[in-house]
């Protein structure tokens, strides 16, 4: 398979002139491609091109932008097989999950194509009869997008689609682990004015240069808390707008009112929420709080289900979990498991390499007895690991859920409406899923409380992230106002 390794700058495909990036297939550990990173001069050129495209794209009526955005959705759907294969090659995730991601990307473009047609502000009640007051929402200008590897296209499109729909132009950088799928979508933007979308391969150096670039008006970032803080500080130093989507340590609460059938569902749902994409989802469930009276039964069902999962070649139909993205990521997750076991935890299943000599495979792990102070219950793991902790009641579960500085998502299983609503109100997280783990909906906001983020993606909130509000006070009379001088 040939790979697109060129960057998109000003409508042209060009080889990156910076350092070479080696792209590894995590299932085989083979280097499948070498991609030239953009140089800092190429970043300057991309910003220049995006700035030049601001007037043609930014002034285009939303009704004219809409078919072009739908066109991008169509182009992505037409390339589903190719893009899915590329993402699986780069991150090792089962092909079916990669194909789903392409559809979610296309649907996001379709959503924002229409949502952005419906309003660019509002009319507000004036403070005087002769006034007409309106709020007008305008694009920021050039938006810099910096994204991680775990959903390489989706997390880019959650920024790109609303930013474009709002009339911004874009300079975007994928993770150095996953440049191929991003560079492969360059042709989907052929119908837009040249320079509206620029795609640059590169690692942290280019990310840092985007965050600090004086020509970039807004930086939209998804990644770790540590990097997000750097991006936020670089943007704040020049008062650029910023949107940060960062890490999490999501809780998964199981109440004792769910019954025998519910318990099995909550075990299977919990395993999916913990192991999807080999646990490398920002909203992976990473700590399970289960009420004491059903604890043993729940753990048994979880372990049985975990042992039934198929770990293997991500290209094979029927594979549930592929390898993790890299040796480093596998080492980090396994390191937390080993540290917890050394401190007294019991590893009930998992932890091996599923018999694979090649590839970063990690059999999904279930643990009990993890000490409360272990990293496994406090720091992001980003791997297929489920520590399960007994709690005596919902008070304790909510206190533990809220006890960390993260607040991205939270899951609760209960049939009790009172408990469900209490969790919605009291759990401090940007997404709360009751009996419905990890669903997304383009129409609603996604993002984090506390260290997990600043700002929101998706929904109308996600469109507003890429718009500046202007309040226009219009008076139809030219007259001296009574509150002017003189006061006497
Ligand atoms: P990361 O922070 O290492 O890298 C993210 C991006 O930032 C990459 O493109 C990287 O090249 C770039 N980067 C690195 N150094 C930079 C710098 N100094 N300035 C600017 N950019 C820089 O994260 P990762 O390992 O790629 O992704 C995993 C992390 O992403 C996890 O913490 C996960 O929770 C988080 N994540 C969050 C969300 C969310 O929506 N909240 C979604 C997915 C992933």
Over range 78-107, report the average pLDDT. Answer: 98
Phi, then psi, of 136 in degrees rounded to 5? -110, 130
Whether residues 169 and 214 fall in one domain = yes
Q: Which atom of ligand 1 is nearest to the CA of 151?
A: 43
Whether residues 123 and 184 fall in one domain = yes
Over range 381-393, report the average pLDDT. Answer: 98
Over range 455-481, report the average pLDDT. Answer: 98
Atom 39, ligand 1: which residue's CA is nearest? 245
Cβ–ligand 1 distance for 327 under 6 Å, the answer no
Domain span at residue 160 reads: 7-246+452-472
CA distance 145 to 462: 14
CA distance 215 to 240: 10
pLDDT digits (tens, 9 = 90+) for 22-46: 999 999 999 999 999 999 999 999 9
Active site residues: 245, 282
If one counts the domains in the chain, the total is 2
Q: Exposed (0-12), middle (13-18) or buried (19+): which is 272, by Cβ within 10 Å?
A: middle
Q: In 36-186, which residue ranges form alpha helices assigned H by DSSP?
A: 40-52, 54-58, 62-78, 80-91, 95-118, 154-165, 179-183
Asked whether residue 147 is assigned to any structural domain, the reply reads yes
The residues, any chain, with a CB within 8 Å of residue 229's CB and separated by 6 or more, are none
* 165 within 8 A of 65, measured Cβ to Cβ: yes
Whether residues 146 and 241 fall in one domain = yes
Whether residues 93 and 180 fall in one domain = yes
Q: Which two tokens stand for residue 437?
A: 């783990």
How far does residue 149's CA lie from ligand 1's centre (Å)? 8
Whether residues 233 and 274 fall in one domain = no
Asked whether residue 281 is assigned to any structural domain, the reply reads yes
CA distance 284 to 121: 36
Asked whether residue 97 is assigned to any structural domain, the reply reads yes
pLDDT digits (tens, 9 = 90+) for 157-202: 999 999 999 999 999 999 999 999 999 999 999 999 999 999 999 9
pLDDT of residue 59: 95
Mean pLDDT (the chain, rounded): 98
How far does residue 174's CA lie from ligand 1's centre (Å)? 10
**If you search the block for the tokens 């709002």, which residue do you land on?**
166
Whether residues 40 and 154 fall in one domain = yes
Asked whether residue 487 is assigned to any structural domain, the reply reads no
Asked whether residue 325 is assigned to any structural domain, the reply reads yes
Whether residues 230 and 269 fall in one domain = no
Q: Which two tokens stand for residue 111?
A: 């959503």
Over range 109-127, report the average pLDDT. Answer: 97
CA distance 88 to 315: 7
How far does residue 319's CA lie from ligand 1's centre (Å)? 27
Ligand 1: which of 148, 175, 200, 230 to mutate, judged by most atoms within 8 Å of the beta carbon?
A: 148
CA distance 241 to 236: 8
pLDDT of residue 280: 98
State yes or no: pLDDT of 380 exceeds 70. yes
* Cα 337–chain centre separation: 25
Whether residues 258 and 180 fall in one domain = no
CA distance 423 to 273: 18
Structure confidence at residue 277 as a pLDDT band (50, 70, 90): very high
pLDDT of residue 292: 98
Whether residues 56 and 186 fall in one domain = yes
How far does residue 148's CA lie from ligand 1's centre (Å)? 4
pLDDT of residue 2: 86
pLDDT of residue 397: 98
Asked whether residue 2 is assigned to any structural domain, the reply reads no
CATH code, domain carrying 140: 3.40.605.10
State yes or no: pLDDT of 107 exceeds 80. yes
pLDDT digits (tens, 9 = 90+) for 405-455: 999 999 999 999 999 999 999 999 999 999 999 999 999 999 999 999 999
CA distance 390 to 381: 20
Q: In 310-393, which residue ranges form alpha helices assigned H by DSSP?
A: 327-342
Cβ–ligand 1 distance for 454 under 6 Å, the answer no
Structure confidence at residue 393 as a pLDDT band (50, 70, 90): very high
Over range 254-268, report the average pLDDT. Answer: 98
State yes or no: pLDDT of 1 exceeds 80. no
Whether residues 409 and 266 fall in one domain = yes
Ligand 1: which of 23, 101, 223, 409 to mutate, judged by most atoms within 8 Å of the beta carbon?
A: 223
Whether residues 393 and 460 fall in one domain = no
Asked whether residue 482 is assigned to any structural domain, the reply reads no
pLDDT of residue 376: 98
CATH code, domain carrying 400: 3.40.309.10
Whether residues 461 and 406 fall in one domain = no
The residues, any chain, with a CB within 8 Å of residue 420's CB and separated by 6 or more, are 412, 414, 434, 435
State yes or no: pLDDT of 216 exceeds 80. yes
pLDDT of residue 193: 98
Asked whether residue 124 is assigned to any structural domain, the reply reads yes
Structure confidence at residue 283 as a pLDDT band (50, 70, 90): very high
């Amino acid at each position: 398979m040939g790979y697109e390794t060129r960057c998109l700058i000003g409508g042209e495909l060009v080889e990156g002139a910076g350092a070479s990036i080696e792209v590894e297939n995590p299932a085989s550990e083979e280097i499948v491609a070498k991609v030239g990173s953009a140089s800092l001069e190429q970043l300057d050129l991309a910003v220049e091109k995006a700035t030049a495209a601001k007037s043609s794209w930014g002034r285009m009526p939303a009704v004219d932008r809409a078919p072009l955005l739908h066109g991008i959705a169509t182009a992505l759907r037409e390339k589903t097989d190719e893009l899915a294969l590329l993402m699986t090659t780069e991150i090792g995730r089962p092909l079916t999950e990669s194909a789903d991601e392409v559809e979610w990307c296309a649907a996001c473009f379709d959503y924002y194509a229409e949502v952005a047609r419906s309003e660019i502000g509002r009319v507000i009640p004036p403070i005087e009869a002769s006034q007409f007051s309106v709020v007008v929402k305008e694009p920021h200008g050039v938006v810099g997008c910096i994204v991680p590897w775990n959903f390489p296209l989706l997390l880019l499109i959650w920024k790109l689609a609303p930013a474009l729909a709002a009339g911004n132009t874009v300079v975007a950088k994928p993770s150095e682990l996953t440049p191929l799928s991003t560079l492969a979508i360059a042709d989907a933007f052929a119908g837009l004015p040249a320079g509206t979308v620029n795609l640059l391969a590169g690692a942290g150096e280019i990310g840092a240069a985007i965050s600090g670039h004086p020509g970039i008006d807004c930086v939209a970032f998804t990644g770790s808390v540590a990097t997000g803080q750097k991006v936020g500080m670089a943007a704040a130093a020049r008062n650029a707008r910023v949107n940060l989507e960062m890490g999490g340590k999501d809780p998964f609460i199981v109440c004792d009112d769910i019954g025998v059938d519910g318990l099995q569902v909550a075990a299977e749902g919990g395993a999916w929420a913990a192991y999807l994409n080999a646990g490398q989802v920002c909203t992976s469930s990473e700590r399970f709080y289960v009420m004491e009276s059903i604890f043993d039964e729940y753990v048994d069902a979880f372990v049985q289900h975990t042992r039934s999962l198929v770990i293997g070649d991500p290209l094979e139909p029927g594979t549930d979990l592929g390898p993790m993205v890299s040796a480093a990521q596998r080492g980090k997750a396994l390191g937390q498991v080993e540290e917890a076991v050394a401190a007294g935890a019991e590893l009930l299943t998992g932890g091996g390499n599923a018999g694979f000599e090649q590839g970063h495979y990690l059999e999904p792990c279930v643990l009990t007895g993890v000490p409360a102070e272990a990293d496994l219950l406090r720091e992001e793991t980003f791997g297929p690991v489920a520590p399960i902790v007994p709690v005596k009641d919902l008070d304790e579960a909510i206190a533990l859920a809220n006890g960390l500085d993260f607040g991205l998502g939270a899951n609760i299983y209960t049939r009790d409406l009172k408990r469900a609503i209490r969790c919605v109100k009291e759990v401090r997280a940007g997404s709360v899923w009751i009996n419905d783990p990890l669903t997304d909906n383009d129409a609603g906001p996604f993002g984090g409380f506390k260290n997990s983020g600043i700002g929101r993606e998706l929904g109308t909130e996600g469109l507003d992230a890429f718009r500046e509000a202007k309040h226009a006070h219009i008076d139809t009379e030219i007259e001296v106002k009574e509150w002017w001088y003189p006061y006497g």
